[in-house]
């Protein structure tokens, strides 16, 4: 490969969190009128320019709790807290409510986005839909002239119809209560055709519903449906799952996982591994994709340490709960070719191939240096041809809370809070990569660092 690490600087880790204000639901929706055409064009430009990497981690309340809090006092008729009622409609049970697939195997879902959202919220929306793009054949695309589309509004609360219902289809994402990555993905998943996980037909094998602890008026939210589960196991980690205290009348649990009552449910980070599998199964996506959503773990090629398959085209999306993704290769054996035109790995600083490239077509047997993303998302692409194969790769991933990776010249960076005081006992990592032939510098400092540093490649 054609790059080398030229410096690694250690300094400090910073934790952060943000809270989300809450508002209420609304009734009524509208499409942008012709006089708003300029505003719509501005929205599309703003989404294109939006920086998902600037988005902070959401607060600790689980997704469904935030949705229900945002929907308090609504007059709109809903079921299960955020499903806008149209009885009997489910894409899983009725293909009429699936979004149609194009000839190239892609499922485009047009959306019209209200101009009520600010730049950070547009960044959140962009980040949320990019995971669908990276891991499935679904593409949320700006609406132009399509008859059927999602009309996404900010008039209070969070809510969606199930599946494609035709025409201008309302989807509620209140700017002050619902613009959180997991909530956005939750409502979009409803629009793709999915109900809440704990309502599926086999749920009694996996959870106990404590009806004695549920507010009587909300018992209907816990009804069991006759569902097609797509042959995929029950998913406690689904972004579509209620938390254990939903609609509790007395503060006691309403949903108890079994046989292990301590299994986490109602996670807030976004689509789960099985959420992705369900989308790909429902829409018959011909993709090879892997989601790595944990704080740390292992990433390995298929069949490792045996030879990887020919004609592979796979991606791994690493999404840590917070911080910036780090990726360290421990083994690397990819068929070598001039310019790595045969088999290769490519690494992107973000969730899709549209993001900056961190490593461009690496092959051979030399280990790739430590990689650090600028956010909590990193995409790894692996491509092989039909000829020679190698044993593949093994890497560990994790995260840092402070630091970065720089790949252009010149770059200036500072210690946290510079020129003010940084926090004692903390640790950051910066990686600066320069082209082959430039001097390699590696140095380490204690947290005594407090002055600005500038490096030229």
Q: For the segment 45-55, what is each residue's pLDDT rounded down to a tens digit?
A: 555 656 655 55
Residue 384 pLDDT: 96
pLDDT at residue 92, rounded to an integer = 74
How far is the C-alpha of 317 from the C-alpha of 386, rounded, in Å?
24
200-222 mean pLDDT: 95
Bridge pairing between strands 357-362 and 392-400: unpaired
Does the pLDDT of residue 287 top 80, yes or no? yes
C-alpha dihedral sign at 5, 9, 15, 18: negative
| pLDDT for the residue numbered 403 | 78
Query: Which of 319, 372, 331, 363 has its CA nearest to residue 345?
Result: 363
The H-or-E segment that residue 306 falls in is none
First CA to last CA distance, the chain:
17
Task: Please give the annotated binding residues for Zn(2+), written as ranges.
Answer: 186, 190, 196
- Closest residue by Cα to residue 87 from 247, 211, 225: 225
Higher pLDDT, 395 or 68: 395
Assigned CATH topology for domain 18-275? Collagenase (Catalytic Domain) (3.40.390)
3-state SS of 137-172 is CEEEEECCCCCCEEEEECCCCEEECCCCCCCEEEEE
Point out the annotated binding site.
186, 190, 196
Report how far residue 38's alpha carbon sits from residue 53's, in angstroms, rounded to the nearest whole number.
27
187 in active site:
yes
* pLDDT tens, position by position, 316-325: 999 999 899 9
The stretch 348-359 carries a mean pLDDT of 94
Residues whose CB is less than 8 angstroms from the CB of residue 145 and which lie 6 or more positions away in sequence, other chains included: none
Q: Is pLDDT at 119 greater than 60 in this prediction?
A: yes
pTM, entire model: 0.77
> Could you tell me which residues come within 8 angstroms of residue 2 by beta carbon, excluding any fewer than 6 positions away?
360, 435, 436
CB environment 220-241: b (16+ within 10 A), e (fewer): ebbeeeebebeeeebbbbbbbb
pLDDT over 50 (residue 276): yes
DSSP string, 212-261: GGB-GGGGGGG-------TT----TT-TTPPPTTTTBSSSS-SEEESS-T
183 with 191: CB under 8 angstroms? no
User: Where residue 227 falls among pLDDT bands split at 50, 70, 90?
Assistant: confident
Q: Is the pLDDT of residue 183 over 60?
A: yes
pLDDT at 108: 98
pLDDT at 315: 98
Q: In Å, what is the CA distance from 212 to each residue of 89, 92, 252, 253, 325?
A: 29, 31, 9, 10, 44
Residue length, the chain?
457
Q: Delimit the domains of the chain by residue range.
A: 1-16+401-457, 18-275, 287-291+302-316+325-395
Q: How confident is the model at residue 345 (pLDDT cuts 50, 70, 90)?
A: very high
The pLDDT of residue 423 is above 90: no
Residue 376's nearest CA partner among 268, 277, 294 is: 294
Q: For residue 128, give the nearest of 377, 382, 401 by alpha carbon.
A: 377
Q: What percent of the chain has pLDDT over 70?
A: 73
Task: Give the least confident one: 17-26, 128-137, 267-276, 370-379.
Answer: 17-26
Q: What is the pLDDT of residue 407?
A: 60
Q: 12-16, 168-172, 366-370, 443-447: which range is least confident on average?
A: 12-16
Average pLDDT rounded to a whole number, residues 284-301? 97
Number of H helices and number of E strands within the chain?
5, 23
Could you tell me the pLDDT band of residue 426, with boundaries at 50, 70 and 90?
confident
109 in Cβ contact with 138 (< 8 Å): yes
- Distance from C-alpha of 130 to C-alpha of 325, rounded to nearest angstrom: 17
- The pLDDT value given to residue 91: 59
Annotated catalytic residue within 187, 233, 256, 284: 187
pLDDT digits (tens, 9 = 90+) for 127-142: 999 999 999 999 999 9
Please report which confidence band the pLDDT of residue 432 belongs to, taking 50, 70 and 90 as the band edges: confident
Query: How confident is residue 245, by pLDDT bands cut at 50, 70 and 90?
Result: very high
Distance CA 177, CA 43 (A): 20
Query: Helix or strand or coil: residue 42?
Result: helix
Maximum Cα interatomic distance, the chain, rounded to a whole number of Å: 72
- CATH homologous superfamily, domain 287-291+302-316+325-395: Spermadhesin, CUB domain (2.60.120.290)
Q: Are 412 and 2 in contact (CB under 8 A)?
A: no
Confidence at residue 238, expressed as pLDDT on a 0 to 100 scale: 96
The whole-number average pLDDT for the span 150-169 is 93
Q: Rounded mean pLDDT of the chain?
A: 81
Residue 309: band (very low, low, confident or very high) from pLDDT cuts 50, 70, 90: very high
Tell me the pLDDT band of 8, cut-offs 50, 70 and 90.
very low
């Amino acid at each position: 490969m054609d790059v080398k690490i030229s410096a690694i600087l250690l300094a400090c880790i910073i934790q952060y969190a943000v809270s989300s204000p809450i508002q209420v639901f609304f009734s009524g929706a509208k499409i942008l009128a012709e006089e708003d055409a300029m505003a719509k064009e501005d929205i599309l430009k703003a989404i294109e320019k939006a920086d998902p990497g600037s988005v902070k981690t959401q607060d600790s309340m689980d997704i469904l709790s935030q949705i229900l809090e945002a929907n308090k006092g609504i007059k709109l008729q809903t079921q299960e807290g955020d499903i806008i009622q149209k009885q009997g409609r489910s894409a899983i049970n009725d293909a009429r409510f699936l979004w149609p697939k194009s000839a190239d195997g892609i499922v485009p879902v047009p959306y019209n986005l209200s101009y009520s959202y600010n730049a950070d919220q547009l960044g959140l929306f962009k980040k949320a839909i990019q995971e669908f793009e990276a891991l499935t054949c679904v593409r949320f695309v700006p609406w132009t002239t399509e008859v059927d589309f999602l009309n996404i509004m900010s008039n209070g609360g969070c809510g969606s119809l199930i599946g494609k219902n035709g025409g201008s289809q309302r989807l509620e994402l209140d700017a002050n209560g619902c613009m959180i990555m997991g909530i956005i993905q939750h409502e979009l998943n409803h629009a793709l055709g999915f109900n809440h996980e704990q309502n599926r037909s086999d749920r009694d094998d996996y959870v106990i519903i404590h009806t004695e602890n549920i507010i009587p008026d909300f018992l209907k939210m816990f009804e069991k449906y006759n569902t097609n589960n797509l042959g995929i196991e029950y998913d406690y980690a689904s972004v579509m799952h209620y938390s254990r205290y939903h609609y509790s009348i007395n503060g006691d649990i309403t949903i108890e996982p079994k046989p292990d009552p301590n299994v986490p449910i109602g996670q807030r980070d976004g689509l789960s591994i099985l959420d992705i599998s369900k989308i790909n199964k429902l829409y018959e996506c011909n993709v090879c994709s892997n989601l790595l959503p944990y704080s740390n773990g292992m990433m390995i090629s298929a069949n490792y340490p045996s030879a990887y398959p020919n004609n592979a085209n796979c991606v791994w999306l690493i999404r840590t709960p917070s911080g910036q993704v780090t990726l360290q290769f421990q083994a690397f054996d990819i068929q070598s070719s001039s310019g790595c035109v045969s088999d290769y790995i490519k690494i992107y600083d973000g969730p899709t191939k549209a993001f900056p490239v961190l490593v461009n077509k690496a092959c051979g047997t030399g280990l790739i240096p430590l990689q650090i993303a600028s956010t909590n998302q990193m995409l790894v692409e692996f491509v092989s041809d039909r000829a020679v194969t190698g044993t593949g790769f093994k890497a560990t991933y994790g995260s840092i809370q402070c630091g970065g990776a720089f790949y252009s010249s010149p770059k200036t960076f500072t210690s946290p809070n510079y020129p003010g005081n940084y926090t004692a006992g903390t640790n950051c990592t910066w990686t600066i990569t320069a082209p082959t032939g430039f001097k390699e510098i590696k140095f380490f400092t204690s947290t005594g660092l407090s002055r600005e540093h500038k490096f030229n490649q």
